[in-house]
Amino acid sequence: MNKKPLILMISLLLSSLLVSAASYTEPDLKALLLSNNLKLKQAISEQDLSTLEVKDAKAGYGPTVDLEVSGTYLANPMDTLSFELPFPLGSSTPVTIDTGLTNTLYNFSLTLTQPLWTWGKLKNGVAMTEKLVQIRQAQRFALQKSLLSELSSRLYAHHYLLAMEGLFDEEQKLAQTLVTLAEEGVSNGMLLKEEALSAKVSLRQIALAKTQVANQRQQQRRAIANLCNITIDEDDELVGELDQEQLRSLLSYDLKTLQALATAKSQEQVRIANLMTDLAALASSVAEGSLYWKPDMAMQVSLGYGGSKFLFVERDDYTFNVSVGMKSTIYDGGKKFHEVSRKAIKEEQSYFDKDQMVQALLTQVEEAYLALHLADESLAYLSLKREAALSEGEQKRLLFVSGYGYEADLVKAELARVAIECEMEQQWLAYTGAFATITYLCGLENRLL
């Protein structure tokens, strides 16, 4: 038995499996985004860094221990001191004092400093870092929610742009048929040359529109790949069908309800704004605790040694001290007053920022709400228009089949119908964009594909 054909078939099968196109569903892409997105990874790193700052702040409650060690070599130590007394006492023999110095000199110092009272600066400092952790966590969740919403919105756009490409293919074939009929009419003397030229211009216009839509679809694919930090080839498929029933579910909400949902305290953007105002208030408290005549108190315990012998050899050169002290700024040109005023202004600004953010949310929800209902009205209008175009196209077809109509009229009717369907896809694209915006801002479940 010849094994070469079998080996060749197996090789071809394996190669086809290796180069087969991948398919991605919306849950697949969301899982890839949550695990691979670079902005999300950076937000997680920022949150981890803020957690370390909390640990640093809490460490201020405990003591600080410092150790200093030094060793000196003396090339010519003064081991004795000799001098004569100005008033000799029975003898003029010089007095000699042994300094105890040798060629080596060691110094050791161990100091423990424990804060006792700081006017709430330590407590408020810890609270500020804890607020910062909450802010970083809320910002991470807000970013995650925003990225998932962007992914869904781009998937919807890709879906409708792909449908529009198919319609443009159909429209292009019909326009080519119309060009052929027009050229035949010109050659037969039944049509003017300008009519054939107009048909060619329409064909080129359709080709241009198709290219623009294809470029937009490629941009959506590229953006989706960047969001998930993966490579999506042209042959890879983005799988999913839109649930139009759920898509229309937002029409049952009134504007006031949606705005109330968007500005609820549980929403990430509102929660971040509230945390920022709390952080500014704590910063003001820290500044007030540093005002004049508000001393910080601390206890310091020190153990030292200095001598020519190494540690633990001599016993007479040790020192042990316990001290309690305080430190306060009395005057610095008014800088501390200025700092308190600066923090108070920033606290007030945080409330302004919060109010502006709420106003922006209300505006965005209203704009998306109006766009949603406008697209819905446009779709209702275009649906009737398409029904009329279908009826007209059927009439033209019957006339053409019976021999009483022209093929060109039938093709024009079909072109009108396809143009209406393309416009409907554009309106669905606008509808899904507004839908994604509202579900993101209001925290509603977004699951269409």
Section 351-361 average pLDDT: 95
User: What is the model's pLDDT at position 184?
Assistant: 83
Task: State yes or no: pLDDT of 18 exceeds 70.
Answer: no
User: What is the model's pLDDT at position 386?
Assistant: 95
pLDDT digits (tens, 9 = 90+) for 21-42: 788 988 999 999 999 999 999 9
Cα distance between residue 380 and residue 136, in whole Å: 45
Single out the residue of 366, 353, 193 nearest to residue 273, CA to CA: 353
Q: Are 304 and 319 in contact (CB under 8 A)?
A: yes
Section 138-143 average pLDDT: 93
Cα distance between residue 346 and residue 352, in whole Å: 10
Section 123-132 average pLDDT: 91
pLDDT digits (tens, 9 = 90+) for 93-120: 665 665 556 767 788 889 999 998 888 8
Percent of the chain with pLDDT over 70: 86
User: What is the model's pLDDT at position 84?
Assistant: 61
Q: Are 442 and 262 in contact (CB under 8 A)?
A: yes
Tell me, what DSSP letter sits at residue 310? P
Is 342 or 78 the better-scoring residue by pLDDT? 342
pLDDT digits (tens, 9 = 90+) for 260-304: 999 999 899 999 999 999 999 988 988 888 887 788 899 999 988
User: What is the model's pLDDT at position 92?
Assistant: 57
Task: State yes or no: pLDDT of 172 exceeds 50.
Answer: yes
Task: State yes or no: pLDDT of 133 exceeds 60.
Answer: yes
Is 2 or 288 the better-scoring residue by pLDDT? 288
| Predicted TM-score of the model (pTM) | 0.80
User: What is the model's pLDDT at position 82?
Assistant: 60
The residues, ordered by sequence, that sit 6+ positions from 194 with a Cβ below 8 Å of its Cβ are: none
Task: State yes or no: pLDDT of 403 exceeds 80.
Answer: yes
- Give the CA count within 13 Å in the CB-facing half-sphere of 323: 9
Task: State yes or no: pLDDT of 177 exceeds 80.
Answer: yes
User: What is the model's pLDDT at position 262?
Assistant: 94
Task: State yes or no: pLDDT of 190 exceeds 90.
Answer: no
User: What is the model's pLDDT at position 183?
Assistant: 85
User: What is the model's pLDDT at position 191?
Assistant: 74
Please write down the HEC assignment for all residues of 230-294.
CCCCCCCEECCCCCHHHHHHHHHCCHHHHHHHHCCCCCHHHHHHHHHHHHHHHHHHHHHCCCCCC
Direct distance between the N- and C-terminal alpha carbons of the chain, in angstroms, rounded to an integer: 52
Cα distance between residue 169 and residue 172, in whole Å: 5
Q: Are 170 and 246 in contact (CB under 8 A)?
A: no
The confidence band for 346, taking pLDDT boundaries of 50, 70 and 90, is: very high
pLDDT digits (tens, 9 = 90+) for 206-239: 999 999 999 999 999 999 999 999 999 888 888 8
Least confident of 10-14, 258-262, 299-303, 353-357: 10-14
CB atoms within 10 A of CB 12: 10
Section 238-266 average pLDDT: 88
How does the average pLDDT of the chain come out, rounded? 86
pLDDT digits (tens, 9 = 90+) for 316-331: 577 888 888 888 888 8
